[in-house]
Homo-oligomer: A and B are copies of this chain.
Amino acid sequence: MSDNKEKVLETATKLFAELGFEKTSMALICKEAKVSKGLVYHHFESKKSILIEIFTSSTHKMIESNVNINDTIEPKGELKQLINNVFYQLENDKLFFQFNLNIMFQPSTRSLLEAHIKERADILFKSVKRIFDKISLDRSEILTYTLLAEIDGIALNYLSVFDDYPLQMIKAELLNKYNKIKK
């Protein structure tokens, strides 16, 4: 990928996260990325297509990072690793989570990405359920839904509700809960 295209994607990701998709103008992206409008439209069909490219490529990164979870170890260890991963990202890539939250809940962007969002949710669901399947086939579905809700809820409250969210305490609580889980 050309340097300039990459630059545009990075700039757009940052601006979409900070200002929201609607409030980020193509002119601003061009200015911040230090390229011309003509060039952006040479690389991307439209503003929407920039968003779609960002979203899908972030899905790929997410899948790759999940692949790294060692599935040879015992399920409780996998859960621990998964939870640690999530909290690590939550602390170190706030902007990325914010970006995802705002494009998912903004109806205009949401509808653009509907299929991609479903696809990503499906991948995530399956990769978590695979772990719980080893613990309890009967309850794996409900456990998966619960853990995903817990993670999303924590992210939401951490990023957008409370100023002084006790993230470490919540993390410990969650690790403890899933460490006690019975086969």
Given A149-B154, A170-B145, A160 and B22 contact (CB-CB distance below 8 Å): no
Whether A23 and B102, one on each chain, are in contact in the complex, defined by CB atoms closer than 8 angstroms, is no
Whether B107 and A105, one on each chain, are in contact in the complex, defined by CB atoms closer than 8 angstroms, is no
> Which one of B142, B161, B163 contacts A170 once the chains associate, using CB atoms below 8 Å?
B142
Chain B contacts of A105 at CB under 8 A? 98, 101-102, 104-106, 160
Closest to A170 in B: B145
Q: Copy number in this complex?
A: 4
Interface residues of A, dominant DSSP: helix
Whether A142 and B156, one on each chain, are in contact in the complex, defined by CB atoms closer than 8 angstroms, is no
Interface range, A side: 35 or more
Closest to A147 in B: B153
Distance (Å) between the CB of A45 and the closest chain B CB?
12
Q: Which residue numbers of A lie inside 8 Å of B, CB to CB?
A: 17-20, 22-23, 98, 101-102, 104-108, 110, 117-118, 121, 125, 141-142, 145-146, 148-154, 156-157, 160-163, 165-166, 169-170, 173
